Structure 1
Amino acid sequence: MTPKLLGQTTPLPQSPQEAALDYVPNPRPGRTYLVRFAVPEFTSLCPVTAQPDFAHLVIDYVPDATIVESKSLKLFLGSFRNHAAFHEDCTVGIGERLFTEMAPRWLRIGGYWYPRGGIPIDVFWQSGPPPADLWLPDQGVAGYRGRG
């Protein structure tokens, strides 16, 4: 379970499917704690117009045996830059891939997408109910209000 990407010069993967995610042993097995990744500059492409879409992603998870190595996560998320998919597909797909591969006790993702055509779209997915003893802070991203 040694990270393959850490410490290496690694080009940005050309697609999410090509991107490899590295996982390392949980340094605090048996503990209930929350890991949060805030990704305020996520980009992908609209599958209809090929115009860029922008989102603020927040990924929260409770580790089990492994944690995701952050460089590999950064490269995986960066691989969406030239990937054409709807907001729902990007957000839920990221959550499902992390949940399937890492097998955390619990995971949620909030995708706070910036407006295109005047309509912001927020997409939320979670693997199930959070553990009862988990301190679960708000994701801290306000709903889009425009200039008002």
Structure 2
Amino acid sequence: MHPAAEHSPLGKASEYIATYTPSLLFPIPRAAKWAELGVSATTLPWHGVDFWNCFELSWLTASGKPVVAIGEFAIPADSPNIIESKSFKLYLNSLNQTVFDSPQALQACLEKDLSAAAGKPVGVRIRSLGEVEQDGVVGLPGQCIDELDVSISNYEQPQPELLRCNPGKVVEQVLHSHLLKSNCPVTGQPDWGSVVVEYHGPELDAASLLTYLISFRQHADFHEQCVERIFLDLKRLLDPQRLTVYARYVRRGGLDINPYRSLGPVTPDNRRLVRQ
């Protein structure tokens, strides 16, 4: 378990607080997991962002009328902290009976509180249901590798030794899988996701990538660290000219988490998938 997470609200009974309480936010430093992966705040080999989408955002107008909307939060991948997901949910619930004069006032409040918790400026968009509905549901780019015939029997820990490439053939390729699953390191509950690998480098053996991704199935880690581990393992194997790895996780508690990591600056497409 992450050393800070055992003090978080995860896995504990929690009172529903319906009025504004920013102290509910529980930051978890990234540094310990970065050290486990062999990187630090000054040596991060990636650019990126963690997109959180909130489908249960609600507050009151000055007249007492409720409003519902969808919130999009962009947390920099190099921020000192992640925000523990249950605390994020509890904080958002505390807005339900809180009056804001306008969506802009709510946005400013969210930016202030989330940036303080993350340790870097967090981008916030408040979107109407109609706006998100117009975006629709999208598919992932590139080739789906889920139908490849593979055999695997070890699901406890990620196995980078499974990965293979063809050093003599350089390609530009996009591969994706919907078979990513890991477990919450605190509650043990499953986290389901779809993962995309975009790269320019030695040809990655698609079957080996699939077996590697499946080896995360019983692994306990947060969403962000799973994506960072995949990114680093592929970077070591391929030494690519370009590499982007991102995952779109299934919503839990009204929130989905979507970490993006890339060798260069990235402009993610944050439209939802069919399972989101």
Fold conserved between structures, TM > 0.5:
yes
Contact 2:260–2:268 (8 Å) recurs in 1: no
- 1:41 Cα offset (Å): 2.9
Give SS of 1:81's match: coil
Establish whether residue 70 from structure 1 lines up as the match of residue 206 from structure 2: yes
Match of 1:134 in 2: none
Establish whether residue 101 from structure 1 lines up as the match of residue 227 from structure 2: no
Pick from 152, 168, 178 the counterpart of residue 11 of structure 1: 152
| Amino acid across the alignment from 2:232 | E
Pick from 48, 51, 58 the counterpart of residue 186 of structure 2: 48
Match of 1:20 in 2: 162
Contact 1:24–1:69 (8 Å) recurs in 2: yes
Contact 1:36–1:58 (8 Å) recurs in 2: yes
Q: Which runs of 5+ in 2 are unaligned?
A: 1-149
Q: Which has the larger radius of gyration?
A: 2
The structure in which a higher percent of residues are helix is 2
| Ranges of 4+ aligned residues in structure 1 off by more than 4 Å | 138-141, 144-147
Taking structure 1 as the reference length, the TM-score comes to: 0.72
Q: What is the CA–CA distance in structure 2 between the aligned matches of 1:146 and 1:73, rounded to whole Å?
A: 22
Q: What is the CA–CA distance in structure 2 between the aligned matches of 1:17 and 1:145, rounded to whole Å?
A: 28
Give SS of 1:73's match: helix
| Amino acid across the alignment from 1:38 | H
- 1:143 Cα offset (Å): 3.0
Deviations along 1:89-115, one digit per CA (max 9) or x if unpaired, are: 001110111012211111001211111
Establish whether residue 124 from structure 1 lines up as the match of residue 265 from structure 2: no
When residues 81 and 22 of structure 1 are mapped into structure 2, their CA distance, relative to the original with a 3 A threshold, is same
Contact 1:19–1:79 (8 Å) recurs in 2: no
Q: Which runs of 5+ in 1 are unaligned?
A: 1-8, 131-137
- Cα RMSD, aligned residues only: 2.9
| Amino acid across the alignment from 1:91 | V
- State, as a whole percentage, how many aligned pairs show the same letter: 29
Establish whether residue 79 from structure 1 lines up as the match of residue 215 from structure 2: yes
Give SS of 2:198's match: strand
When residues 58 and 11 of structure 1 are mapped into structure 2, their CA distance, relative to the original with a 3 A threshold, is closer
Q: What is the CA–CA distance in structure 1 between the aligned matches of 2:176 and 2:189, rounded to whole Å?
A: 23
Give SS of 1:72's match: helix
Work out the number of aligned pairs and report it. 127
Q: What is the CA–CA distance in structure 2 between the aligned matches of 1:11 and 1:41, rounded to whole Å?
A: 13
Q: Using CA pairs under 8 Å that are at least 6 residues apart, name the structure with larger relative contact order, 1 or 2.
A: 1
